[in-house]
Amino acid sequence: MKIIATEKFTSIALPRIATGVGDLDWDDVLPLIENRLGGLAIPVYIYVAYIAGKAADESIV
């Protein structure tokens, strides 16, 4: 949060963090992201799926 404010980000984009190697369940991780970043005054894009050759369909928290 400090870096976001200090660097004056205009948006944030995240993959499905902690669900690959971290082996966490996405249904547990997404609410944490929403809780922590949902109140930001900038868009937060979460890329939930990767399909080769297809444009991303991002969610906004």
Whether the model pTM is above 0.95:
no
Range with the poorest average pLDDT among 18-22, 37-41, 45-49: 18-22
pLDDT of the residue at 10: 94
pLDDT tens digits for range 13-30: 988 888 877 789 999 999
What would the mean pLDDT of 1-14 be, rounded to a whole number?
89
Domain count, the chain: 1
Distance, CA of 30 to CA of 36 (rounded, Å): 10
CB atoms within 10 A of CB 44: 21
Distance, CA of 42 to CA of 61 (rounded, Å): 10
Its domain, for residue 16, covers: 2-60
What would the mean pLDDT of 43-61 be, rounded to a whole number?
79
